Amino acid sequence: MIELFSANTPNGKKISIMLEEIGYEYKVTKIDINNGDQFKEDFKKISPFSKIPVIIDHKNNKTIFESGAILIYLAEQSGKFYNQDNRLEINQWLMAQMGYVGPMLGQHHQFHHYNPGKSKFGEDRYFKISKRIYQELENRLSKSKFLAGDEYTIADIGTFPWIARHQWHDIGLTNFKSLTRWYLEISKRDAVKKGFTFMDEKEIVPQP
């Protein structure tokens, strides 16, 4: 049994989608990040930086924090979405999501969606970076079916929930043909649809 400590965010959805994809039994323990649950001492014991998500693999007595590390762990345990022969490519695109795509789009959310009008510099800066990210993903996906090649991998699972907030970005997903093709293909996967609703059964994957 996997216990997933999480919130209804892109980083949280990465892991619920992965767990659905590999068919592992899991339960969700909600961390209310709006009320500061992530800073409670019990949670900090398993998450040193007070971040979600975290999993406890009770079968193997392992606790893993950081969503990228969790994806790698689950991929190695299940033998899925992490092809041994293509791991260098997968790791590069997964780390790009962890270090660039997610953090920059997250800043765009803060300035553009949550706190508009408070910092023109912040809004302009992260809008431009986010638009560049869309174009960079478009460039890659115009010549590759998925981010790391011809196969769907944890790099795609890690990136998809961030692009799923495209309505917040106001960039226009449909302006990017290859990125839209990739997004629509992944959005039709049963595990993605189910994992997306892990905290809200009424939630659906946003369409372009």
Q: How many helices (H) and strands (E) does the chain have?
A: 10, 4
pLDDT, tens only, 2-25: 999 999 999 999 999 999 999 999
**pLDDT at res. 117:** 94
**pLDDT at res. 108:** 96
Coil, strand or helix: which one is 144? coil
Q: Average model confidence (pLDDT) for the chain?
A: 97
Length of the chain as a residue count: 208
Query: Three-state secondary structure along 56-124?
Result: EECCCCEEEECHHHHHHHHHHHHCCCCCHHHHHHHHHHHHHHHHHHHHHHHHHHHHHHHCCCCCHHHHH
Given the structure tokens 């553009």, which residue do they identify? 112
Q: Residues in the chain with pLDDT < 50?
A: none
Residue 207: DSSP 8-state: P
Given the structure tokens 């068919």, which residue do they identify? 23
Domains and CATH numbers, the chain: 2-81 (3.40.30.10), 84-190 (1.20.1050.10)
